[in-house]
Structure 1
């Protein structure tokens, strides 16, 4: 349910469970975390999904059984944040719940016009994953983060772009091509220079 393709130092990682809105099981999260931990030599990593939803978050049955509180979410988002290359979330559709952490940990986020964004953990009786509120606040500010996490608001792609939650809106048939285009300069650059620039950007945020 997780597909990986590698082309010219670009890894494309695809969540492939469209019949379940790409909801994530513990096994899928573990596989994703391992892939990201193994991607230290990748010059760029593109994370996307199959179908019209990027991910609905945790598989509901497993969430009720304890997945919502599992440390695997933090392992995954931490592995993405630690990637030395450029990481891009190419959001092929709606992003919900704990799956938000994957996108927040990426360097860039691009999305199709139909994408929606929401994180209804408080309504479900859970806390968000520990790193997610801080990462979201760094992108869109504390008040807008509370609007999503505490106000329970679902925002569309246009509003997400205005907030700074995503960086560009791209039509679906061009999404992966645009992600590859954004990766091209980093892939062609001296790896040390690219990594140093990434660290400088992080240090200044």
Structure 2
């Protein structure tokens, strides 16, 4: 349920479960993590995460969440691998981002979203803590109070507000999402292999 494509140094991973709002099972998360590590081992210059259909991901599959997936360490492992990637990472959000799927997007260097995307992380309502690294990454982007608005007050944020807050970096029409991600990755793909990682370390 995860599609992989490669072109010119760009590895694109697409969540392909649109009939279930791209909700994530333990198997899917493991597959994404394995493909991320494979991409890095094989010298990817840019990594793009996106989804099929009109939702990027609704988070954990509900049945598996109730069975323990909501607190499984695979979420933190995956976001950690994305955050540590020595290449440019882009979340090309084709629609709404919810729940545990936030971790993948927060760990990326850049986040693009379509105009109708919404952002929410209803851990208070569901009775779970967010994944350990997510609150700090969220607060680094939007500030502590706005992070609490999302995580504690359960607010659902639209794309315009997300851009204003710094949660996303650009709003892009759906038909231009892949092209925009490729354009943003062009310099990283053309540069010396170690340059992107070195710049990321300088930024911190």
Counterpart of 1:168?
170
Offset at residue 77 of structure 1 (A): 0.4
Counterpart of 2:127?
125
**Partner deviation per Cα, 1:100-121 (whole Å, 9 max, x = no partner):** 0000000000000000000001
Structure 1 segments, 4+ long, off by >4 Å, are none
Q: Which segments of 5 or more consecutive residues in structure 1 lack a partner in the other structure? A: none
Offset at residue 193 of structure 1 (A): 2.2
Separation (CA, whole Å) in 2 of partners of 1:27 and 1:107: 25
Separation (CA, whole Å) in 1 of partners of 2:122 and 2:68: 16
Separation (CA, whole Å) in 2 of partners of 1:114 and 1:181: 22
Separation (CA, whole Å) in 2 of partners of 1:63 and 1:101: 16
Counterpart of 2:90?
88
Aligned residues: 202
Counterpart of 2:200?
198
Separation (CA, whole Å) in 1 of partners of 2:6 and 2:47: 9
Separation (CA, whole Å) in 2 of partners of 1:163 and 1:194: 26
Alignment of 1:14-163 (within 5 A): 14-40=14-40, 41-163=43-165
Give the structure-2-normalised TM-score. Answer: 0.98
Alignment of 1:6-17 (within 5 A): 6-17=6-17
Give 3-state SS (helix, strand or coil) of 1:130's partner. Answer: coil
Offset at residue 198 of structure 1 (A): 1.6
Offset at residue 194 of structure 1 (A): 2.2
Contact 1:39 1:83 in 2 (8 A): no
Contact 2:58 2:96 in 1 (8 A): yes
Q: Does 1:189 align with 2:191?
A: yes
Give 3-state SS (helix, strand or coil) of 1:38's partner. Answer: helix
Q: Which segments of 5 or more consecutive residues in structure 2 lack a partner in the other structure? A: none
